[in-house]
Amino acid sequence: MRRIEKDLTLATAYKNWLGNLEQLGENHPEYTSNNQYYKDVVANLLWIQQGLCAYTEMYLIDKDKVAPINWTLGRVNDFEFLGHLDHYYSSLKKERGWDWNNFFVIHADVNVKKKGKKIAHGILKPDDPHYNPFYFLEYDFKSHNFLPNCERDESLQEKILNDINTLGLNFQPIADFRREYLNPLIDDVFLRKLTLDEARGRLVQFYTAFEMSIQSLKLE
C-alpha cells in the first residue's frame, strides 16, 4: 500500500464545481455514480494511483487509458474500468459525498465484501503526509499478508490491524493472487535468474509487498 500524492490536476471541471460549492457554503449533492463528474474523479485518481487499487495495489486498468492525452477541458473521454470509487471515511459520504480528500479508487470486491461502512482510524490513509508503509506495516512472505509493524507500540499495532482488515489488504482472494504473482519473481531473484532491477521492471502491481518481501528475505 504505497503513499499516494493526490494531485487534482486533470479533473479541473470537477475541481471548479467542488470549489464553487465550498465557496458558497452549500451542501454536497447526493453522491451517485450517475453524477456528471463521477468518471472524471475516477479517472484522475486512477492516473495518480497508476491504474492500481489504492489499498491492495492490485491492477485495475492500464493507466494510459486515463492519461492527460485523454482529457479535454477538464473532462475525461469515456472509458471502462474495474473497481469502485470509495469514501475512505464512510461517515462523510452523506453530507460531504464529493470531497476529493476522501476519495480513492479500489478493487470492487474489497469495497463490497470487506470495507463497506467499516470505520478506518486513518493511520493507513494513502495520501496522508505522515503515511509510510515501512513504518506502519511489515509483510509475512509465507502467508503473503500484511501485519502491523512489530516495532510499534501495542496500542498503535491494534489500530493498524483494524485498518489492515478494514481496507482489505489481506482479503483472501487478493492475498492468494499476490502470492501467485510475486513468488515466481522473488524465486528468480533468489536463484539469480533476474537482478532486482530486472524483477522490479516486470512488476505491474503489488509493489509494496514485493519490496517488503525482498527486505525480509535479505535479498538486497
Q: What is the DSSP string of 79-109?
A: ---SSEEEESSGGGTTTSTT-GGGEEEE-HH
pLDDT range class, residue 116, cuts 50, 70, 90 = confident
pLDDT range class, residue 117, cuts 50, 70, 90 = confident
Question: Does residue 28 have a pLDDT over 90?
Answer: yes
Give me the phi and psi of 71, to 5 degrees please: -115, 145
Per-residue pLDDT tens for 120-172? 999 999 999 999 999 999 999 999 999 999 999 999 999 999 999 999 999 99
DSSP 3-state helix, strand, coil percentages of the chain (rounded to 5)? 45, 10, 45
pLDDT at 25: 85
Question: Does residue 119 have a pLDDT over 90?
Answer: no
For the ranges 26-30, 135-139, 163-167, 191-195, the lowest mean pLDDT is seen at 26-30
DSSP state letters, 154-217: HHHHHHHHHHHHHTTTT-HHHHHHHHHHHHHHHHHHHTTSS-HHHHHHH-SS-HHHHHHHHHHT
Evaluate the CA torsion angle 133, 139, 143, 146 in order and state its sign.
negative
Q: What average pLDDT does range 174-202 have in this prediction?
A: 97
For the ranges 118-122, 185-189, 210-214, the lowest mean pLDDT is seen at 118-122
d(CA 191, CA 219): 10
Retrieve residue 173's grid coordinates: 482472494
Q: What average pLDDT does range 99-112 have in this prediction?
A: 96
Retrieve residue 130's grid coordinates: 505522515
Question: Does residue 27 have a pLDDT over 90?
Answer: no
Per-residue pLDDT tens for 36-79? 999 999 999 999 999 999 999 999 999 999 999 999 999 999 99
d(CA 158, CA 173): 24
The domain locations on the chain are 12-115, 133-216
